[in-house]
Amino acid sequence: MHTISIPMIGTDTAWRDAARRLLAARVKPDDVLWDFDGQAPQLFESTADLPAPRRAVKVSKDFVELANVVVWHKDSQRFARLYALLWRLKDTPGLMADRADPDLAKLRQMEKAVRRCQHKMKAFVRFRDLRSEGPRRSFGAWFEPTHHTMEPTAQFFVRRFGDMDWMIVTPSVTAKFTNGKLTLHPGDTKPELPEDGAEDLWGTYFCNIFNPARVKISAMTSEMPKKYWKNMPETQFIPGLIADAEEKVRKMQDAAPTLPPERMAAIRDQLMHSAQPASWNMLDADLNGCTRCPLHAPATQVVKGSGPRDAALMIVGEQPGDHEDMQGLPFVGPAGQLFRGLAAQAGLDPDAAYITNAVKHFKFKPTAKRRLHVNPATSEVDHCAWWLRSEVALMKPKLIIAMGASAARATTGNGKDITRRRGTVEVGTDGLPVFLTVHPSHLLRLPDADRETAEAAFIADLKTATGHLLQSAPSIMHLTETTRAEGSDIAAE
């Protein structure tokens, strides 16, 4: 019997190293006792006694990706489950594709739970200003993730908050980012954090973006589970907001604007003859004041593109939805979150791409309870494509990913037949390569039985797009390390 000790910090590398040694030494799963963070007594010999493999141990890429996520699950059996599957993979190479296999299905479930936990962590960590004296601002946060997700999510915070010092304390691991350097330490109990004036501001913002017409308590508590509430300042307002919701909806209905008259021909003429903005500043200013078509009137605000404007990749969706309209940012609602999750699984970091829409205002039909999304008409996509062309001209991306019919129409002039054209690159109206795929909201509408396959196909599309991008811009910065490594193999083939 071998006891394998896996530490709390560096769990993934320790697990990989141990699994390689065990597999190379042909140690059966039943002969391994897995200990995490010194919680089990050391009864038997440890891996140090197992020699390092002389030759590289080859393991399916799918398994490696799965294991890299599952190791952060809190289930004490995770390492044993992973090693048992790895052991079976030796003799059953097709196992990773077998959806009916119960061991694999369980691990996939665990993978999903860890990803969900990471997603919640990214959304729900709330920093408080520690008011440091030094040149860099300093922030602290306390968070209680369901799984051990501090370490694998730390790089997200590094990218997001690279210009300040911060620490996030969790019960198992503490991440500190000081002067541009990330370090990981043992976890702790909840620290004393100073009161933060910014929280009042954040509370006011939260109350303002709260849409009473959309309130669905079960959906809200599923998206923002109650266990996170105690560490989130804005949640104190939720009971009051819910209580007032009905009255507010009535007032919104009374005040709902009527759609202005159609005047598309005149607008098209006006658009076609105006000069495109010569800088991003001009584009921002013009777009903020865009009243060139009737869609602007009932919308809350224009939703501009977001993300680095010198990125190699531009991603184009259809039009902002209800959440995007309220927040002024593209792809932050349910379709956006689904897209971000699937992009991450494809090894594409959506935060490092420029994300925009074919149409810049939310088109909707007001109903008693909510604002229902309405597809933009082809004429509206054509008119608004003028803005997209201005963004493309200023940015000159190496690749555009067009998601769905409206994006395809805006970028290639043809919005038809997406099912046949998806997964391919066409030359866009601006002479740049356009990769076509379906819109992520299409996945949201599918019945559960079809959803998994459709998501896998969407991820495969994004991976193909990434391969194209790496061929045209090998040094791009927006891919995860894994994809960059895989992609360079694709490029070298």
Interface ranges with ligand URA (CB under 6 A): 317-321, 324, 330-331, 333, 335-336, 357, 441
Of 36 and 364, nearer to ligand URA (C-beta) is 364
The string of DSSP codes covering 434-491 is: EEEE--HHHHHTS-HHHHHHHHHHHHHHHHHHHHHHHHH-TT-S-B-HHHHHHHHHHH
Nearest to 213 by CA among 255, 158, 262: 255
Amino acid sitting at position 337: Q
In the complex, what is the shortest distance from the CB of residue 224 to ligand URA, in angstroms, rounded to a whole number? 19
- Backbone φ/ψ region at 300: left (φ over 0), alpha (ψ -120 to 50), beta: alpha
Of 87 and 331, nearer to ligand URA (C-beta) is 331
Of 174 and 319, nearer to ligand URA (C-beta) is 319
State which H helix or E strand residue 270 sits in. helix 264-272
Of 115 and 304, nearer to ligand URA (C-beta) is 304
In the complex, what is the shortest distance from the CB of residue 376 to ligand URA, in angstroms, rounded to a whole number? 10
Whole-number Å distance between alpha carbons of 29 and 34: 10
Residue nearest to ligand URA according to CB distances in the complex:
317
In the complex, what is the shortest distance from the CB of residue 209 to ligand URA, in angstroms, rounded to a whole number? 15
Chain-centre distance for alpha carbon 252: 32
Beta pairing partners, 355: 306, 315
Q: What are phi and psi of 413, to 5 degrees?
A: 85, -5
Q: Longest Cα pair distance anywhere in the chain, in angstroms?
A: 82
Of 321 and 428, nearer to ligand URA (C-beta) is 321
Of 331 and 458, nearer to ligand URA (C-beta) is 331
Whole-number Å distance between alpha carbons of 303 and 319: 9
Of 153 and 319, nearer to ligand URA (C-beta) is 319
In the complex, what is the shortest distance from the CB of residue 325 to ligand URA, in angstroms, rounded to a whole number? 9
Nearest to 466 by CA among 308, 317, 315: 315
In the complex, what is the shortest distance from the CB of residue 441 to ligand URA, in angstroms, rounded to a whole number? 6
In the complex, what is the shortest distance from the CB of residue 444 to ligand URA, in angstroms, rounded to a whole number? 10
Of 390 and 441, nearer to ligand URA (C-beta) is 441
In the complex, what is the shortest distance from the CB of residue 333 to ligand URA, in angstroms, rounded to a whole number? 6
Whole-number Å distance between alpha carbons of 128 and 165: 12
Whole-number Å distance between alpha carbons of 328 and 90: 51
In the complex, what is the shortest distance from the CB of residue 232 to ligand URA, in angstroms, rounded to a whole number? 24
In the complex, what is the shortest distance from the CB of residue 449 to ligand URA, in angstroms, rounded to a whole number? 24
Whole-number Å distance between alpha carbons of 361 and 372: 14
Of 401 and 470, nearer to ligand URA (C-beta) is 401
CB 96 within 8 A of CB 125: no
CB 401 within 8 A of CB 435: yes
In the complex, what is the shortest distance from the CB of residue 406 to ligand URA, in angstroms, rounded to a whole number? 8
290: which residues sit within 8 A by CB, 6+ positions away? 296, 302, 360, 361, 387
Whole-number Å distance between alpha carbons of 205 and 95: 49
Of 150 and 358, nearer to ligand URA (C-beta) is 358
In the complex, what is the shortest distance from the CB of residue 217 to ligand URA, in angstroms, rounded to a whole number? 23
Of 152 and 350, nearer to ligand URA (C-beta) is 350
| Residue bearing tokens 């909806």 | 249
Pairing of β 32-36 and β 399-403: unpaired
Encoding tokens for residue 174? 């503490």
In the complex, what is the shortest distance from the CB of residue 400 to ligand URA, in angstroms, rounded to a whole number? 14
Of 333 and 350, nearer to ligand URA (C-beta) is 333
In the complex, what is the shortest distance from the CB of residue 442 to ligand URA, in angstroms, rounded to a whole number? 10
Chain-centre distance for alpha carbon 340: 3
77: which residues sit within 8 A by CB, 6+ positions away? none
State which H helix or E strand residue 412 sits in. helix 405-412
Of 333 and 487, nearer to ligand URA (C-beta) is 333
List the Cα angle 484/485/486 in 5-degree steps: 95
Q: How many CA within 13 A on the CB side of residue 350? A: 24
Nearest to 414 by CA among 330, 457, 358, 343: 358
